[in-house]
A and B are shown apart, each in its own frame.
Chain A
Amino acid sequence: MITKRGQLKDHINFVLAVKDRLWPNIKIEEFLVVYVDTRNSPPNFKSKFIDSDMVTNEPIILGFEGTAHTAGIAIVKGKNIIINKSATYLPTQGGIHPREASEFLSKHFPKLLEQIFHELPFDTQRIDAIAFSQGPGLGPCLRITATIARAISLLIKRPLIGVNHCIAHVELGRMVTPAQDPLVLYVSGGNTQLITYLNGRYRILGETLDVAIGNALDSLGRKIGLPHPGGVHIEQKAKSGQQLLHLPYAIKGMSFSFSGVVTAAYKLISEYSVSDICFSFQEYTYAALAEATERALSCTKKSSLLLTGGVAANMRLQEMMQGVASEQSVKFFVVPKDLAGDNGAMIALAGVNMYKANDFIDVKNSQVIPRWRTDQVEVSWIH
């Protein structure tokens, strides 16, 4: 919600910047009321979209993802991802700075939108709704995303859908893999949760008690001198690790904690090689995740396991989860590598489900929710 005068001014300037870039011929006064004919810029039929797909009744959703470091925009129709574009902010030093991340988003969203509308194989008026990541995430980033989503919504007169980022990861997994009613292990830079569906809500069975696994990997990477993002580089280094060093194995029931493991691993840097530390860190933290997952599987008696989120791209974690699934004889699914991290497509796909359940919000009530827990969302689309 806009509370300060300065913030309001920033928002207006941002909306106007978007307008100037996309529709420079429209007068400001007419901006929110006129119908804009984007056919002025001829569409470019480079994408894989086939016109026969238009025959089906599936809704077309434009999705905006911007909770932290990724600016992502996607257009989907039903389960088909038509266009999916994103830009990722890479901090030159240290971790993600909220202000710099939001500046990055405000710079890149207009560029991405321009590309999307150029490549769009049909008219913008065929879009049925706008979905955006309403939370959880970094406040400044969420506000940028929400602002642009509201502007586009008012401009093309289509309803808004506020999507929970964590649930979008789950919905993506449910739509691009054959997993039906799975137990979900959602591992990313901001969250680590064991999620399952029960009675109209996604319930959290276990979650991290301090930092997320991706965050732990990043901060360990920074401390031992590896570049950002830490997870990728740690995975590479771990391949040459030989010696298993002793680290804490932190699991509490079905919840886990990683910050102590980071500190313990960092303390070993003077005596042992980086690759041994990376190897041991992965083995201990992923083993804790695997054990919690196995516990949750045996409790819930679900028949499939879904791995989603940015860290799902890690091959060692996938291997361990495959092991867990075969121990408990359940099917194992993992999201494709290119959709594992934050992207616009997951927001749009979750938007498709919410569109079918008429789960819309007014622009008036579309304020961002930076601390939106997965179990606070009423799931209207699963019956």
Chain B
Amino acid sequence: MIRQKDRIAKGAEAIIYRGSFLQTPIILKHRLPKIYRLPQIDKTIRLQRLRAEARIMVLAWKIGAHVPVLLGIDFANRTLLMEEIQGELLFFIMNTAPLTKMKSIFKDIGQEVGLLHKNDITHGDLTVFNVVINKENKPWLIDFGLGQVSVEREKKADDLLTFYSTLKAISPDFQDLFDLFKHGYFGMYKKGRKTFEHMKKIQSRARYIAREDRLE
């Protein structure tokens, strides 16, 4: 039973409702149809994302990553039921929390992502909006709709690049924070350095990068 007053957030893709399941607080993530897309395209995309998210969440939970536990899937309504993480989105605390606190958080995020990549799981949309910081200041990753199980270095490097570019667009201290993220990441994932090199390669593919700055 979903009530409008339990609606807590509206993202680009889905509406998030709060609820309870066997006395534990849960989150319902309902992927909405988009009026601007053709219904045929919309239907396939929403189903694909729902399936991907459910699969990745289960796999990530099995390896012990900090992700919400998946409790149920409602295919007909394109809705996922999952455990609620009590905390704040990284984006909202980034500019208010003291820098020292942020530093340890970013190192932990690096470890989390390293753990996923070590097990060939990619997030697909790793931004500061998809990281929840709980009361013990530990990061939890959410929103795996674009996630994939893949051994490709390209996909892993994509995660790093997405994270780097959203960080760059949001925080003035992005360089320091990303260095800490890298530190945690390399610590957890030994092949991480190669992924990082690959990230720079992808970065140099963007438009209007001077020839001398291109890495090939």
Contact = CB atoms under 8 A, between A and B. Distances in A.
Interface string A251-273: 01110000000000000000000
Contacts of A196: 169
Contacts of B75: none
A321 B41 CA distance: 16
Interface residues of B, number: 34
A30 interface: no
B168 A244 contact: no
A287 B12 CA distance: 13
Nearest to B91: A299
A327 B34 contact: yes
B129 A299 contact: yes
A371 B209 contact: yes
A371 B210 contact: yes
A208 B12 contact: no
A198 B169 contact: yes
B166 A249 contact: no
Nearest to B39: A244
Contact of B169 (A205, A323, A324): A205
B38 interface: yes
B98 interface: no
Nearest to B10: A298
Contacts of B119: none
A208 B36 contact: no
Given A191-B207, A249-B45, A284-B41, A327 B127 contact: no
Nearest to A322: B36
A253 B162 contact: yes
B124 A253 contact: yes
A327 B41 contact: no
Contact of A295 (B12, B35, B170, B209): B12
Interface string A86-113: 0000000000000000000000000000
A287 B41 contact: yes
Interface in A272-304: 283-284, 287, 290-291, 294-295, 297-299
24 contacts: A196-B169, A199-B172, A203-B169, A207-B206, A209-B206, A244-B38, A244-B40, A253-B124, A253-B125, A290-B36, A291-B34, A291-B37, A295-B12, A298-B12, A299-B166, A322-B36, A323-B34, A323-B35, A327-B36, A328-B12, A371-B208, A371-B209, A373-B207, A373-B209
Given A198-B169, A249-B41, 6 more contacts: A196-B169, A252-B158, A253-B158, A299-B129, A371-B208, A373-B209
